[in-house]
């Protein structure tokens, strides 16, 4: 890569990766603060962490994971994925889409389908403990080959903030 390409790649990662995760964490803090029952359950789980915990173990905590997933479901940081262009004519749910059609998948609308997420406007991390969602039902990072390149990193980053959750909410 030329210096210019390298510069552009780094800028992309910085811009795409900074505010997105920061906004997601801000919403997580909002929900944990807003809902005492969520806060209690989360702190109960986080209290089982000993001294010098292994972050990979913490990242697998079910309730912490569910809180992060629900945060990205209810108000997806990117409301839509990037545009896709139809290359071969296709029919989707009765709509004929000719070659060249531009499609913008709405992540927000997918995350608020009542038949998939009952009471979709309510923050309920338990949904993610009760069932698994397909990539067509839950897609905060988009989908397919061009889904978010930072998907795994962003989720790990969110969960690595568990110490901040503890510090901020322990004494409420």
Q: Closest CB to ligand HEM among 118 and 135?
A: 135
The residues in 129-168 that bind ligand HEM, with binding defined as CB under 6 A, are 140-143, 146-150, 153-154
CB of 117 to ligand HEM, least distance (A): 17
Output 17 or 53, the one with its CB closest to ligand HEM. 17
In the complex, residue closest to ligand HEM by CB: 142
Closest CA to 65 of 170, 152, 148, 169: 152
Kindly write down the DSSP assignment for every residue of 88-156, as one continuous string. Answer: S-EEETTEEE-TT-EE--BHHHHTT-TTTSTTTTS--TTHHHH-PPPTTT--TT--GGGS-TTHHHHHH
**CB proximity list for 36: less than 8 A, separation 6 or greater:** 172
Helices 162-169 and 3-34 pack at an angle, to 10 degrees, of 30
The footprint of ligand HEM on this chain (CB under 6 A) covers a number of residues equal to 23
The verdict on 24 binding ligand HEM (CB under 6 A) reads yes
Q: Considering the rule CB under 6 A, would residue 53 count as an interface residue with ligand HEM?
A: no
Question: How far apart are the C-alpha atoms of 127 and 133, rounded to whole Å?
Answer: 9
Q: Which stretch binds ligand HEM (CB under 6 A): 18-26, 31-39, 40-48, 130-138?
A: 18-26
* Binding site residues, ligand HEM, CB under 6 A: 12-13, 16-17, 20-21, 24, 72, 77-78, 81-82, 140-143, 146-150, 153-154
């Amino acid at each position: 890569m030329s210096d210019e390409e390298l510069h552009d790649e780094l800028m992309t990662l910085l811009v795409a990766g900074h505010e997105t995760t920061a906004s997601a964490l801000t919403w997580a803090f909002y929900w944990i603060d807003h809902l005492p029952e969520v806060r209690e359950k989360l702190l109960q789980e986080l209290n089982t962490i000993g001294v010098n915990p292994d972050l990979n173990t913490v990242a697998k905590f079910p309730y912490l994971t569910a809180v992060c997933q629900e945060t990205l479901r209810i108000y997806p940081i990117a409301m839509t994925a990037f545009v896709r262009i139809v290359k071969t004519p296709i029919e989707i749910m009765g709509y004929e889409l000719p070659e060249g059609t531009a499609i913008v998948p709405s992540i927000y609308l997918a995350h608020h389908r009542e038949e998939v997420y009952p009471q979709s406007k309510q923050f309920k991390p338990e949904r993610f403990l009760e069932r698994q969602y397909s990539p067509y039902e839950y897609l905060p990072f988009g989908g397919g080959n061009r889904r978010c390149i930072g998907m795994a990193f962003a989720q790990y980053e969110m969960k690595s903030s568990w110490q901040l959750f503890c510090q901020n909410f322990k004494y409420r």
